[in-house]
Amino acid sequence: MSLFIGLDLGGTNLKYALGTATGEILVKLSKPSLASQSQETIFANMFAAVDELVAEANRRGETVKAIGAGSPGVIDFENGHLIGNAPNLPSWTDAPIKKNFQQHFNIPTWVDNDANLMAFAEARKGAGQNYRTILCITLGTGIGGGLIINNEIYRGSHFSAAEVGHIIIEFGGRPCNCGNQGCLEAYTAAPAMIDRYRRKLKRYGVLFKIDELTTEIIFQKAEMNEDLAKATIMETCDYLGAGIASIVHIMDPEIVIIGGGIAEAGPEFINRIELVAKNNALKSITEKVKVVKANLNKEAGVIGAIMLASENCRK
Amino acid sequence: MSLFIGLDLGGTNLKYALGTATGEILVKLSKPSLASQSQETIFANMFAAVDELVAEANRRGETVKAIGAGSPGVIDFENGHLIGNAPNLPSWTDAPIKKNFQQHFNIPTWVDNDANLMAFAEARKGAGQNYRTILCITLGTGIGGGLIINNEIYRGSHFSAAEVGHIIIEFGGRPCNCGNQGCLEAYTAAPAMIDRYRRKLKRYGVLFKIDELTTEIIFQKAEMNEDLAKATIMETCDYLGAGIASIVHIMDPEIVIIGGGIAEAGPEFINRIELVAKNNALKSITEKVKVVKANLNKEAGVIGAIMLASENCRK
């Protein structure tokens, strides 16, 4: 049986896994991605991860048939390289991922945007099974998105589709990290949630330094029924619902899958997102669309990378 | 040579035309659509239009091979009927267009949403030739949209894709006719433009009744370099640019085509829309996307209907 390697490069960690053609994970590992170091060092770190998994495959008497890799940033899927910069990976600009991997290993390699691969994993092995047109949104430090149209990853004309974090939900609104104003990310990503929670606490005389607060703390407090934390998350759900309403008007998907912290925080928040999305969209569209929680979460990136490799091998 | 009939049903007029398989128009006619009357009367009015064009085809020694029809509202393309209500056509609910036409004429008939057909016409015969992924937006009393992905009309999972008028550009903002708040249409359609212009005039002591003002008047005044009219149009361009930025982040099209009043009002407005869209979107996406004026405008609906009929005949 041929095996497949999936890599998921992030701003903090590199996740890597060995799996089967159908996306069953056999071995799953993680190590720092060395994001602040040189492009050569990041590649060497990834190559060492692949070496580890190839050795593991051989130990099992198997070979590695193909490699899939997910990276932040805009990825030219045809050529497998980064276009321009990637957030949190300063040296990664224009990284020729596919070319370097294939030269180094002589194993066919496919590369895609990390959020695309999460959506792909959910479509093939997660909450999106049995659906052909899927919108996937992942909440974290930034907002990631992926679109599956007619069972395939939709990449757009310049490999830039599904940049859901940068749709505008408030014209002329809050400044976003991207340099624009009013983006969904500026209202719903972790820094925005933390900022809103801190302001609420301040009104009650509770002072927190920003770097002491995390979304995990907010989710924990909400679980303990702390009103300000719950209100902070609910507001995030409202903005997210409005953003989803916009996207649903354009794409008309069968299902919307939410991953990341909010999805883990409990069904009441997913229900709120669905309610707001439906309340902000034409009835003809939303009466049939479902909003659900992602199934695979932290494994989604490597599963998507493995499925990308195995399906492209067969083409 | 077989000919094709295209119909474009609107809230005011029914446009109908006879054309060739490649969308050349031979005869083009228009009459009131009788929108306020019964469903039977609207059908009878459309059937009479087809009779006229069939007679014209026969007079030329030709036959009509297929009929294409565009209608407002959500159209189930597979079955060719309206889903629910259509704006401005109160009796048209659930109209079984394809079935009634095929029973009456025994000529194959295809039906689609009118804005989809405008986008399709621009793709095949207008400003979108040579592009595979196209966003088309038409400004009028409402905001219509159509998406072409990989050379074909993208209809979404419930035939509701590209409802671009109802993406949210201001969370909790202006009420929209659809019942929601902050929709693009509430800021950029004709009634919103008229309302903004009237308020500006009022500040200078000029009073207009709303029903005396039309967007045509605003465009005429702008052509005469009247500052308030120009400012009104520019604001509309700003909102529209922001809305386009959102959609471009999701779909990543090659080209955005603008039809309707603003498109006709001169290149400075199209340029403004493009500038604002680019200023509100990630550089990786917008540096390659073009914003241009529609070429076909008032004929787009019937040309799209004719192309729909001729291409589906060949499938």
- Give contacts of A168 with chain B, Cβ < 8 Å: 169, 242-243, 245-246, 280
Parallel, antiparallel, or unpaired for β A25-32 and B13-19?
Answer: unpaired
pLDDT band at B261 (very low <50, low <70, confident <90, very high): confident
Give per-residue pLDDT as tens, B121-170.
999 999 999 999 999 999 888 899 999 999 999 999 999 999 999 999 99
Give per-residue pLDDT as tens, A178-208.
889 999 999 999 999 999 999 999 888 877 6
- Give contacts of A281 with chain B, Cβ < 8 Å: 166, 180
**What is the ipTM, given to two decimal places?**
0.92
Give per-residue pLDDT as tens, B161-209.
999 999 999 999 999 988 899 999 999 999 999 999 999 998 888 776 6
A285 touching chain B per CB within 8 A: yes
Q: Which residue has the tokens 């005429």?
A: B220
Q: What is the pLDDT of residue B210?
A: 62
Q: What is the pLDDT of residue B262?
A: 78
Domains of chain A: 3-119+298-314 (3.30.420.40), 129-294 (3.30.420.40)
Mean pLDDT confidence for B276-285: 82
Q: What is the pLDDT of residue A268?
A: 83
- Give contacts of A245 with chain B, Cβ < 8 Å: 166-168, 180
> Distance, in angstroms, between B114 CA and closest chain A CA?
16
SS3 A36: coil
Q: What is the pLDDT of residue B283?
A: 77
Q: What is the pLDDT of residue B204?
A: 84
- Give contacts of B171 with chain A, Cβ < 8 Å: 169-170, 187, 238-239, 242
- pTM > 0.90: yes
Q: Which residue has the tokens 């130990």?
A: A59
Tell me which residues of chain A have a pLDDT lower than 70: 208-210
A75 touching chain B per CB within 8 A: no
Out of B157, B167, B187, the one facing A253 most closely (by C-beta) is B157
**Alpha carbon distance A66, A314 (integer Å):** 11
End-to-end CA distance of chain A: 18
- In sequence order, the 6+-apart residues with CB closer than 8 A to the CB of B89 are B9, B11, B33, B35, B42, B71, B72, B73
Out of A170, A250, A254, the one facing B251 most closely (by C-beta) is A250
Residues paired with A86 in a beta bridge: A89
Q: What is the mean pLDDT of chain B?
A: 93
A132–B157 CB contact, under 8 Å: yes
Q: What is the pLDDT of residue B284?
A: 73
Out of A84, A170, A289, the one facing B171 most closely (by C-beta) is A170
Q: What is the pLDDT of residue A210?
A: 62
A250–B168 CB contact, under 8 Å: no
**Alpha carbon distance A183, A181 (integer Å):** 6
Q: How many CB pairs under 8 A join A and B?
A: 154
Mean pLDDT confidence for B204-221: 82
B159 touching chain A per CB within 8 A: yes
Per the CB < 8 A criterion, the answer to whether A288 and B84 are in contact is no
Q: What is the pLDDT of residue A79?
A: 97
Give the residue from A237, A252, A279, A290 with the most B CB atoms within 10 Å of its CB, the best one to mutate.
A252
Give the residue from A76, A136, A159, A171 with the most B CB atoms within 10 Å of its CB, the best one to mutate.
A171
A81 touching chain B per CB within 8 A: no
Q: What is the pLDDT of residue A208?
A: 67
A251–B74 CB contact, under 8 Å: no
Determine what percent of chain B is predicted with pLDDT higher than 90.
80
Give per-residue pLDDT as tens, B68-93.
999 999 999 999 999 999 888 999 99
Q: What is the pLDDT of residue A284?
A: 74
B247 touching chain A per CB within 8 A: yes
Q: How many CA atoms lie within 13 A of A8 on its CB side?
A: 27
B89 touching chain A per CB within 8 A: no
Out of A158, A170, A238, the one facing B288 most closely (by C-beta) is A158
Higher pLDDT, B269 or B95: B95
Which secondary-structure segment (H or E) carries B122? helix B114-125
Question: What's the CA angle centered on B162, arms B157 and B167, to 5 degrees?
Answer: 110
A243–B168 CB contact, under 8 Å: yes
Give the residue from A135, A246, A287, A288 with the most B CB atoms within 10 Å of its CB, the best one to mutate.
A246
Q: What is the pLDDT of residue A263?
A: 77
Short-list B210, B201, B212, B260, CA closest to B236: B260
Q: Which of residues 260-279 of A touch B (CB under 8 A)?
A: 279
Mean pLDDT confidence for B225-248: 94
